[in-house]
Amino acid sequence: MAFITPSTPNNNINKCSSTQLQTSALESLADITTLSIDSGDIDTVARYAKTGLITDATTNPLFVSQAGANGDARYEAMVQEAVTYAKRKTCAEDGCAVPEDTLNLAIDRLAVNLGKELVGLVPGRVSTEVDIRLSYDTDKSVERARSIIAMYEDAGISKDRILIKLAGTWEGIQAAKVLEKEGIQCNITLVFSFLQAAAAAQAGAYLISPFPGRILDWHKKQTGQEGYAPEADPGVLAVKRMYAYFRKYGYDTICMPASWRPSRGAAVEGSDVDEILALAGVDEMTIPEPLLNSLCALSPDVVKRNCDPTTDAAACNDPDFRLTEESFAQYWKTDVCGQEKLKEGMDAFTAETEKLITILIEKF
């Protein structure tokens, strides 16, 4: 995940300029995989959007929380507008205790304010996350998602430019199923297992965000192994399995991995982009600024297509077993990596949301 900090240009980005003859690994990667930038920093997104290599942008509770605490006048204006909007819509008065629904609306409004800025920078979609605390409540997740989309549409931004992010719980996936039928496209995030991916595809989710780096973290902790060849990285193999299943059975769900780690270990030069290169050719990737910079500094020759729809579909051995809530729960009990990493991710995003609440309360 990228952090919103005072941003300074990186010289490597110049090597990725679409106006220069020199090419880079990032340009080669963009030829075979749609690229999203994993950042809520307006300046960073703007710089990379100008290269023409980045199509989408993803945000999460961490970015929104950092926007709330940033101090930059642009982010502060977003916060103040969110507070004013929430007060006006819920009739909360200055000096009174802040009702929960007012705070929740301010949180969503701030996420939309950040998203509106990013929509103006990238040509594709911006992901905006539903309150992570609702991840086990389908109805409330759907309600908040509709409210977020309504705010975007009130600002003149079509829902076709927005992806609603929902955690990969059974309830979150079922919320996506409802929303997709309404034409609201969804990004199922915090995906650590094939089970989550299959359920999301069967629900008709537009996109999933599996986290190969965190899957690798779990396996390294379990085995004590310091590093893997990128093609044998457990996170890479997990994503390839998901991608192969989608392509074999004709699911339209996009596979967009995020959250990267060095397969061979951080001490190995160039290993920071191991997983990215090992998954080159997958539908889409979301990549933070430091790794985009690394790819800009590498030769285009390092990029080889390692995900191919026809080849990977042919190699898929998984049946298209239709999941129910009961069967999902039964299989989920055996998925220790999925359980542990999902809880860890949700706990971290919940903590960021609670930080944001503290910041917002001070603004009322």
Nearest partner of 187 among 173, 199, 198, judged by Cα: 173
User: Is the sign of the CA dihedral 229, 233, 239, 244 positive or negative?
Assistant: positive
41 within 8 A of 5, measured Cβ to Cβ: yes
Residues 64, 351: Cα–Cα separation, whole Å: 12
114 within 8 A of 59, measured Cβ to Cβ: yes
258 within 8 A of 291, measured Cβ to Cβ: no
Kindly state the helix (H) or strand (E) to which residue 221 belongs, with its residue range.
helix 212-223
Out of 165, 177, 220, 248, the active site residue is: 165
The dihedrals phi and psi of 8, each to the nearest 5 degrees, come to -125, 140
Specify whether 355 is catalytic. Answer: no
71 within 8 A of 6, measured Cβ to Cβ: no
129 within 8 A of 60, measured Cβ to Cβ: yes
What distance separates the 2 farthest-apart alpha carbons in the chain? 64
CB atoms within 10 A of CB 38: 25
Residues recognised as catalytic = 165
